[in-house]
Amino acid sequence: MSEIPETTVDQLPADAVILDVREDDEWQAGHIEGVTHIPIAEVPQRLGDVPEGDPVYVFCRGGGRSSRVTEWLNNNGYDAVNVDGGMKSWEAAGKPLVADGDAAPTII
């Protein structure tokens, strides 16, 4: 098994290209504005929707699902990096979030 490239929220470049692989309800509750959302189960069928980036930084809630997607993408010709701690780390760092609807954004 190859080593999965990983970074932290604090090390993300300002112009990072981000893929969020959480489920729809998680996305709706709170997400990073302007990033691409593809639920983990849909990634293989929606490769055309994966954003172009060198690399693509992959987020989930805590880093587990995104590490699997990162590994899969890298094994299929993409340059992907897992974001350790995921959206929980993003939220803990006080980074901006948006939500669908009127509720205050949160990470579930």
Catalytic site residues? 60
Name residues whose C-beta falls within 8 Å of residue 12's C-beta, 6 or more positions apart in sequence. 57, 83
Name which of 31, 38, 3, 19 is nearest 103 in CA terms. Answer: 31
Q: Which contiguous run of DSSP H or E holds residue 80?
A: strand 80-84
